[in-house]
């Protein structure tokens, strides 16, 4: 298709009223040409024909907005002109255009009725003028009206399919945008959860160790030095994890061109280091692994690590100095992590520190676990203490 034809079509689509005005002018021009050629079969008053053609043309401009009324007006002008012995063919063009619009806009049922009325007007015009014989005019009129109706009905179906496709496209685009918004939201929640776990744990350990170092600085310098060394290690590790989280927020090109020295996400192998750090903060921990160990995905291992980290951080906050038992069990179908503290503070604990609690840690545990189809139950136990029981199915995170 040539560019000028494509531009003309776009112009017509954007200005339907102008398109209808052009069609109305062409209809009147063709009708007047029939009158001038004297081929309309009846002479008549040219001024009267001009008035009727003008009325039909004005009506055709509104054919999209009022298809039924426009068809009635143009058909009435044709029948009236025919009854007054005016040229019928000249007045037949506008009703034919209005009939096609009626079929396309109003559907088949009303289109058939409009076609029957138009055919009756054609037969009446043939009988009134008697130029070609009524049977031939009736047959030709029926064939012409049927073809025009078929074409208009096809146009109607095409417009309906196009409108349906546009609606479907809009829905698909909206669904895609909604999925993108949900993905961004989930990513923000995930990063916020990671940030909470990292900062809450490391700052809690730093607070406990600094409090202990300040308390024993003048009496037990070796213990104080050990606490300060632990603070240095914990802060370095916390900065490394924060750097890893910030890297996730950078654009792809920055991540590709940046350094790759950041540590990977922690997993089950880092649990002994975590437990040793907690032990240096005055919380003795007994760690036991049972069952046949299996290789897991990084996401599942991170989930186990974060739950253990949050549970031990809560012990530091709410029961500093309590003894903790951690059991990691590899079952046949699931991985289980059980963290239990006795809730008792040793009598020799002389460096208390109050740590604030945001109340989001347990919720974060459940949300993180739900991502892998697992469950976590938390709550106090009879006789004192607190229990955290994590269950993760292998089907959601086994490295195959």
The whole-number pLDDT of residue 233 equals 72
The SS3 call for residue 322 is coil
Confidence band (pLDDT; 50, 70, 90) for 200? low
Query: Do the Cβ atoms of 91 and 77 come closer than 8 Å?
Result: yes
Structure tokens at 169: 């496209």
Q: Say which DSSP state 321 is in.
A: T
What are 103-116's pLDDT values in tens digits?
Answer: 888 877 888 888 88
Structure tokens at 173: 């685009």
pLDDT surpassing 90 at residue 330: yes
CB atoms within 10 A of CB 314: 23
CA distance 129 to 141: 15
pLDDT surpassing 80 at residue 66: yes
The whole-number pLDDT of residue 42 equals 47
pLDDT surpassing 90 at residue 289: yes
Give Cα separations from 220 to 107, 205, 232 (angstroms): 96, 19, 19
pLDDT surpassing 60 at residue 220: yes
Confidence band (pLDDT; 50, 70, 90) for 130? low
The whole-number pLDDT of residue 286 equals 94
**Helix 93-106 with 46-60: angle, nearest 10 deg:** 20
Confidence band (pLDDT; 50, 70, 90) for 91? confident
The whole-number pLDDT of residue 68 equals 85
- Reported pTM: 0.47
Please state the rounded mean pLDDT for residues 132-151.
80
Q: Pick from 300, 315, 322, 295: which is nearest to 361 by CA?
A: 315
With 0-12 / 13-18 / 19 or more C-beta atoms within 10 angstroms meaning exposed / middle / buried, residue 98 is buried
pLDDT surpassing 70 at residue 9: no
> Where do the structural domains in the chain lie, given as residue ranges?
3-132, 176-396
**Helix 16-37 with 93-106: angle, nearest 10 deg:** 150
CA distance 356 to 386: 18
Partners of 296 in the β-ladder: 398
CA distance 380 to 39: 104
Mean pLDDT of the chain: 77
Confidence band (pLDDT; 50, 70, 90) for 162? confident
Query: Do the Cβ atoms of 312 and 303 come closer than 8 Å?
Result: no
The SS3 call for residue 104 is helix
What is 176-396's CATH topology? Heat Shock Protein 90 (3.30.565)
Most confident of 21-35, 176-190, 242-256, 270-284: 270-284
What are 52-65's pLDDT values in tens digits?
Answer: 888 888 888 888 88
């Amino acid at each position: 298709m040539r560019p000028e034809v494509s531009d003309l079509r776009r112009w017509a689509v954007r200005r339907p009223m102008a398109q209808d005005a052009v069609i109305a002018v062409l209809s009147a021009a063709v009708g007047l040409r029939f009158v001038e050629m004297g081929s309309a079969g009846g002479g008549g008053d040219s001024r009267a024909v001009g008035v009727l053609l003008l009325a039909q043309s004005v009506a055709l401009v509104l054919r999209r907005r009022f298809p039924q009324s426009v068809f009635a007006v143009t058909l009435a002008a044709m029948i009236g002109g025919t009854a007054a012995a005016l040229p019928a063919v000249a007045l037949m063009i506008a009703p034919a255009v209005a009939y096609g619009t009626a079929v396309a806009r109003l559907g088949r049922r009303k289109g058939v009725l409009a076609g029957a009325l138009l055919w009756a007007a054609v037969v009446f015009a043939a009988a009134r003028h008697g130029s070609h014989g009524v049977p031939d005019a009736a047959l030709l009129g029926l064939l012409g009206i049927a073809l025009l109706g078929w074409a208009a009905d096809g146009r109607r179906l095409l417009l309906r399919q196009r409108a349906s496709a546009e609606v479907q496209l809009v829905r698909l685009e909206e669904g895609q945008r909604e999925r993108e918004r949900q993905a961004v939201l989930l990513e923000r929640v995930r990063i916020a959860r990671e940030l909470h776990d990292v900062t809450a744990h490391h700052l809690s350990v730093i607070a406990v160790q600094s409090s202990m170092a300040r308390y024993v600085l003048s009496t037990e310098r070796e213990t104080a030095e050990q606490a300060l060394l632990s603070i240095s290690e914990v802060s370095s590790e916390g900065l490394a994890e924060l750097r890893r989280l910030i890297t996730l927020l950078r654009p792809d090109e920055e991540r590709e061109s940046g350094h790759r020295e950041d540590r990977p996400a922690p997993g089950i192998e880092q649990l002994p280091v975590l437990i040793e750090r907690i032990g240096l903060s005055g919380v003795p921990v007994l760690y036991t692994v049972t069952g046949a160990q299996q290789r897991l995905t990084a996401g599942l291992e991170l989930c186990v690590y974060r739950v253990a980290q949050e549970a031990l951080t809560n012990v530091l906050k709410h029961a500093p100095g309590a003894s903790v038992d951690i059991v990691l069990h590899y079952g046949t179908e699931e991985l289980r992590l059980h963290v239990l503290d006795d809730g008792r503070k040793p009598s020799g604990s002389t460096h208390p520190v109050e740590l604030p609690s945001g109340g989001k840690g347990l919720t974060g545990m459940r949300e993180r676990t739900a991502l892998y189809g697992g469950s976590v139950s938390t709550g106090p136990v009879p006789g004192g203490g607190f229990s955290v029981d994590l269950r993760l199915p292998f089907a959601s995170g086994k490295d195959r």
